[in-house]
Every structure is written in C-alpha cells, then in structure tokens.
Amino acid sequence: MSEPIKTVGQGINRVDGFLKVTGAARYATDYPVKNLAHAVIFKSTVAAGEILAIDTIEAEKAPGVLSVITHQNAPKLNPNGGLRGGGLLQETKIHFHGQHIGVVVAETFEQARYASRLVKVEYSKQTPRTDFEKLEKEASTPKDKDKADIVRGDVDTAFSSAEFKLDVVYETPIEHHHPMEPHSTIAVWEGEKLTLYNGSQIVNGAQSSAANTLNIPAANVRIVTPHIGGGFGSKGGQWANLVLTAIAAKMVNRPVKLALTRQQMVNSAGLRQRNLQRIRLAATKEGKLTVLAHETTTHCAMNGEFVEPCGDCSKVMYEVPNAKIAYKVVPMNLILPTYTRGPGKATGSFALESAMDELAHQLKLDPIEFRIKNEPARDPLNGKPFSSRTTVQCLQAGAKAFGWEKRKMEPGTNQHGDYMVGYGVAAGTYPARQRDSSAMIRLNRTGKDIKATIELAASDLGTGTHTIIAQTAADGLGIPVSNIDVRIGDSALPPAAGSVGSVGAASFANAVNDACIKITDELILKSGKQFPVRPMASALMASENLKEFQTRVDAKPSPEADNYSCHSFNANFAEVWVNAATGMVKVHRFLAVTGAGKILNPKTARSQIIGGNIWGIGMALTEESVVDPRYGNFVTRSFADYHIPANLDIGTLDTIFIDEDDPITNKLGVKGIGEVSIVGVAAAVANAIYNATGIRVRDLPITPDKLIRKV
C-alpha cells in the first residue's frame, strides 16, 4: 500500500465548511429543545449604590410571564465559583451601570423583554467612580504578584545621562470584544443533571465554573459547544448569564434560552480596559538601547482586579541593560476587564513600537535597522535561550516583499495628489505554549474502508479547529481526511485545553498526534509481529482483520520547553494614505510576516492573521468604547456607534509565513497565531501615519479630527 499523501501543511478547505454555509452548524441557541421558555436580563440603571426595593408585581402579571427572579428569590449561589464580573443576584450592592439585577422568564422573548421594562427599582445612589482622568492619580500597585515591578539595572541614572531619549505617554481606550455571536445559553435540567448549550472557549472551564457556582458536582454539568461565533477572550471565562439561565430553568421547571442583546454585551462580558502607558527609551548615538521603562496605569472593577499585561512585549523584544516594567491600577464602577485578543501585547506593542519608531527618527536611523541593532541573543527577562526567534527574518522578508526601500525617511514628503502617503513598521511577539489535553481515537473498518472518530473537549471559535484536528489525524493514521469524524465541544469528551492564549492548535494537534502514535504502537503490539518499516494504523487494521480498535491519550507539554523562551514573532508593514483636506486615513496595503512554527493549514492560518490584522487596524483608527462619566454607562452600545472596519475600510492584505522548525516548543513545533496576529498592527499603522503627515498621535483611535487640525 502506498503511503497516503500528507495533509498537514496543506491549505485544505474547512471540514465543517459545508455545515456553516448551509446553516446546519449549530451554535448555542440553535438546538431544537422542546417546551423552551425565554429569559431576558434586566440591569441596574445606576453605577454605584444599593437596591432599596424592587417591585415586580406588574411584571409578574404581564402576559406569558412565568417567573421574575431577583436577589429576593434567587437560590443561594457561590459567588467565588469561577464566574467573572458578579451579577449573580446574590446582593443588593451595585458595582457598575448595567449590573444584572434580575431575570424575567416568559413564553416568548418579546413577552420577557416587555415585562422586564415593567420592573420598578428604587436605589440608594452613590457618586460613581467613572471618570478615569480624575481617578488615575489614585492608582496603586496591583494585588496580583505577577504585576509586581520588574527592574533591571539603574533606569533613572542611565536615562538622565542619555543623549538620545524619549519620555512620552501612549493611550489606548476601552474596547469591547463584540463577537458575531453574542453570549447566549440554553439550559436543560433532567433531574439533577444540567446541560448548558453555550459558547465556551474553555469547555471544561465552563463546566467547573458552572458547577462550582451552582454548588453541584461537576459530573452533573455538561457543556455543549461544537461551534462558537467568535469570542476573542470574552468566552474564555464565563459570566453570570451562564448560571442565570440555569437557575431560571430550574425555577420554571422547563428549558430556558437566554441570549444577550448587542447592547447588553457592553456591560455583561468584560472589556479591554483603558491604558495609559509611559514609555522611557534611551539609546547611544549608534542606536544601541540603554533604557527601556514601560509603566502602565489602568483601571479594574470595584469588585475584582484584572490588569492587562501591557509590558509583556517590552520584557522580551529588545536587548537593553536598564529596564523597568511596572503597573498601577485604580478601581472604578465599570464591569471587570478581561482577556481580549492579544491581551497586553496588542495594547503594549502600540506603545513600545511607536516609541521605537520615534527614537529611530530622532537617531536618524531606519526603524528596521534600529530594531535589528537591538535584537537579543537570549530572553532579556530570564536569560533563557529562545527555542527559536524569527524577528529579524520577519523584518527582512517583509521589507523585501513590501518594497520598504521606497519609504522616504523624512515625514510628510510623499505626496500623491490629495493624499499624503506613508510607510510604517512594527514588530511583535506572543508566547507559544502547549497545555494538557486528552484525546480518544476510535477506528472502525468495513471491508477495506477504515474510518476514525476523534474525540476531545476542544472548542472551535471559527478558527478551523475541526480541520486541523482532522488533518493531524489523517496523517497520523494513514487515512483520508474525508474518513475522519471530529467530535469536539462537549465536556462529556476527554478534557482538553481551551481556545485561548494561542494554546489551542498546539495542544489539540499534539494530543491527537500522540493518540495516533499510541494507537499504532498498541496495534503493532497486538499483532505480535516485527516490521522493517513502521506501518500505519490503517494498514494494521486491515492486515490484522480488526473491525474496531480504540485508545485514549493524556498529552502533556514537553518539560524541555520550560528551559527555553518559546514565542511566535511577527513584523507588520502598513502603507497609509491620508487625505490632506479631511484627515481621513486609508490603510492602502498591509503585510503581516509571521514566524509561528509549523503551519498546520495555511488557508485557515491566513484567515486568522488577516482577522487579527483587521482588528488591529480598527484599534488604530476606529474602535473606542466611550463612558459617560456622569452616569457610568457606555454611550457606544451598537455597531452604529462602536465603529469596526468594514470591507471598504480595508485595502490589500498580504501574509507571509516564515519557514520555522521548532521541536522544542512542542513535539510538532506548532505555535499559536490567533493572538500574535493583532500584536504590533496598531503601531505599524500609527507609524505610517507619522511618516505620511509628520504628526505623531499617541492616543488611539487616530480619528480625522486628530489630524485635520494639524494637516
């Protein structure tokens, strides 16, 4: 039998693509559950204070209403069970505008929504802490020990004596995740057993959080989530709506659906917080960095702390003898911030890479040359060798492909009719990690036809998890992709890592690969034969006349990886056109060059990269969640006012993957790309705008008003 054609590394179509384009792929609220009731959350209309009274009488009498649930009748829950943000109807204290204060359950969604507006609430109001400009001076050291100051050398002395230096503040606004599929759940109780159909980036994490919060055994909770319509971190941890659906179903003794509206999303499922980042850079006249200080001031919730790690890129990107990474945080009456695509690295790279561009201009150095001059041989943070590092290759390959030699160093000198044209570059990084994951393989033979079922509690955000699992299994077993049935997104399956932090592809693929190796070893042992060449599992099923065979593996990261610094790296190139009359910015071309180990599927990988690039462009030019400091609510609550890039906003997007072999990071050498795809993007756009106009904008988004006044 000839060896099957390898599919890993090939850009095959998504194996679940047909389901999606025909509408057959089921998302959280697509399951045909009988006797379904509908729930609508109602929320606090004040940002700080306490509930004095809730009058639900009129709502309870409304047509179709089955129950109105508030703190007065909600069951006792565990507020420390693992859900984020509060809002579990366990207290009367109000921590932020839009906090959940009740749920209406009715026969239809319309009836529940109508009745929710009939609830009357009396508050004892307090002055809310919602004005960051006034509160930032109160910021103090975070409680999180991982955010303690990191200091190397003597930053202050070296900075004061430096000839070429920069001391500036960069600002990024609050952003929201806004996945295409808002958070939604169907809850079904069967006795003491609970099934939650819910979009969950970490399937087993959602299971344990729901169980702990409900005070029931994890074995009694099943999470079902084979398809997710995006999450970007917001569905990595679960929020109160998950458990509120479960208690609503329990109280009305029938299945319940609860789907958040787009407007409710802004204060129900976290956000990327506003960050002020002070950067101090210093260098010799030859362009060698002597100082890098990155100090972030941000905000958290009144009832919980989360601090985005904006200094992470500054820890590892450049060789510098004197460095400082520090954080300060102030509590505010806003919902708890959370992980958002490229957490810390997306926002932190805007500050770091903009500052590198500024100092390169001051030194009269090409910004690519400046970065390469300061390339570290080892991880500057811990002295560990890099398992592999492709920053220089990314910069050089990108410069050649992009036509960087056409860039004019002097800003504002490249005119094209009514437009000023500029080129910008920025680099970035994101950790590469594998996490514990288990996988089950079941082989079945009918005549000469051998099929495999792969089972693990992985999740697919739309990134192509089904496909890369099928490709990995096909190559490991020696059967076509069409004969692979991938079953994921169910906590009843073997536990697996989540689709978060760019660990999904590496964890899932390595677990499946290990399972393929194990099942082949077991089949060889079962045969009792010696083989001159290691056979494929598919061939053994046929030669040994086996109808079925199965195995399970519990895959773990390689201990060797802990001795190295393992990362994906990139370089981003932007060409912008700025209208001299209006200040409107168009990203005419964008190129992302990425070194991320073995690329399992170039087609789905490219989709991941351009998706991150588009978000980074939106971060640079349009995205901003605005708080009304008088009341603490968001005035940007839909896509009518929270502006994300549309098709006409995006020019030509190109991607290049650096050929990289890194078996140290994990056995397959797979690194994540979902997060690194946004890192450095906003800085590349901002640097291009400076090159086009000579105007340095340090606060995002770069809207026309920030340019038109000076153009």
What are 74-101's pLDDT values in tens digits?
999 999 999 999 999 999 999 999 999 9
Mean pLDDT of 45-58: 98
| Cβ atoms 685, 702 nearer than 8 A | yes
What are 139-170's pLDDT values in tens digits?
999 999 999 999 999 999 999 999 999 999 99
Residue 169 host element (H or E): strand 164-172
Residue 563 per-residue DSSP state = G
CA–CA distance, 119 with 102 (Å, rounded to integer):
9
CA–CA distance, 314 with 324 (Å, rounded to integer):
9
Residues 287 and 244 both lie in one domain: no
Boundary (domain end) residue, out of 534, 556, 578: 556
Full residue range of the structural domain in which residue 66 is found: 31-126+180-230+235-265
146 exposure class (CB count in 10 Å sphere: 0-12, 13-18, 19+): exposed
Residues 409 and 376 both lie in one domain: yes
- Most distant CA atoms of the chain, gap in Å: 81
Mean pLDDT of 175-189: 97
- Looking at the chain, the whole-number percentage of residues with pLDDT higher than 90 is 98
Residues 354 and 420 both lie in one domain: yes
Residues 225 and 301 both lie in one domain: no
Residues 389 and 407 both lie in one domain: yes
Residues 333 and 403 both lie in one domain: yes
Residue 142 domain-assigned?
A: no
Q: 3-class SS at 538?
A: helix
Boundary (domain end) residue, out of 514, 529, 556: 556
Residues 79 and 198 both lie in one domain: yes
| Cβ atoms 166, 287 nearer than 8 A | no
Q: 3-class SS at 594?
A: strand
Mean pLDDT of 195-200: 97
Q: 3-class SS at 584?
A: coil
Residue 614 domain-assigned?
A: yes
What values do phi and psi take at 257, rounded to 5? Answer: -110, 135
- Looking at the chain, the whole-number percentage of residues with pLDDT higher than 70 is 99
| Cβ atoms 606, 617 nearer than 8 A | no
The pair of structure tokens assigned to 370 is 């400046």
Distances (CA, A) of 37 to 113, 254, 314: 12, 7, 50
Confidence label for 249 from pLDDT (cuts 50, 70 and 90)? very high
CA–CA distance, 136 with 694 (Å, rounded to integer):
30
| Cβ atoms 374, 289 nearer than 8 A | yes
Question: Does 118 score more than 50 pLDDT?
Answer: yes
Residues 22 and 36 both lie in one domain: no
What are 339-364's pLDDT values in tens digits?
999 999 999 999 999 999 999 999 99
- For Cα atoms 184, 189, 192, give the angle at the middle one, nearest 5 degrees: 135
What are 634-691's pLDDT values in tens digits?
999 999 999 999 999 999 999 999 999 999 999 999 999 999 999 999 999 999 999 9
CA–CA distance, 194 with 528 (Å, rounded to integer):
46
Q: Looking at the DSSP assignment, which residues form a beta bridge with residue 100?
A: 43
CATH of the domain at 455: 3.30.365.10
Mean pLDDT of 23-50: 97
CA–CA distance, 575 with 592 (Å, rounded to integer):
12
Q: What is the pLDDT of residue 1?
A: 43
Residues 529 and 499 both lie in one domain: yes
The pair of structure tokens assigned to 450 is 């051998």
CA–CA distance, 390 with 372 (Å, rounded to integer):
11
Mean of per-residue pLDDT scores for the chain: 97
Residues 110 and 52 both lie in one domain: yes
Residues 347 and 389 both lie in one domain: yes
Confidence label for 4 from pLDDT (cuts 50, 70 and 90)? low
Residue 423 domain-assigned?
A: yes
Active site residue 305: no
| Edge-to-edge order in the sheet of strand 585-595 | 415-416, 419-431, 567-579, 585-595, 650-657
Q: What is the pLDDT of residue 708?
A: 87
Question: Does 709 score more than 70 pLDDT?
Answer: no
| Cβ atoms 194, 221 nearer than 8 A | yes
Residue 44 domain-assigned?
A: yes
Q: What is the pLDDT of residue 418?
A: 95
Boundary (domain end) residue, out of 217, 246, 265: 265
Phi-psi region of 648 (alpha: psi -120 to 50; beta: other; left: phi over 0): alpha
What are 459-512's pLDDT values in tens digits?
999 999 999 999 999 999 999 999 999 999 999 999 999 999 999 999 999 999
CA–CA distance, 608 with 678 (Å, rounded to integer):
10
Distances (CA, A) of 708 to 231, 420, 579, 623, 693: 35, 12, 9, 19, 10
Residue 613 domain-assigned?
A: yes
Residue 350 domain-assigned?
A: yes
Q: How many domains does the chain have?
A: 3
Residue 551 domain-assigned?
A: yes
| Cβ atoms 495, 228 nearer than 8 A | no
Work out the number of other CB atoms within 10 angstroms of the CB of residue 477: 28
Question: Does 2 score more than 70 pLDDT?
Answer: no
Residues 326 and 424 both lie in one domain: yes
Residue 483 domain-assigned?
A: yes
Q: What is the pLDDT of residue 711?
A: 45
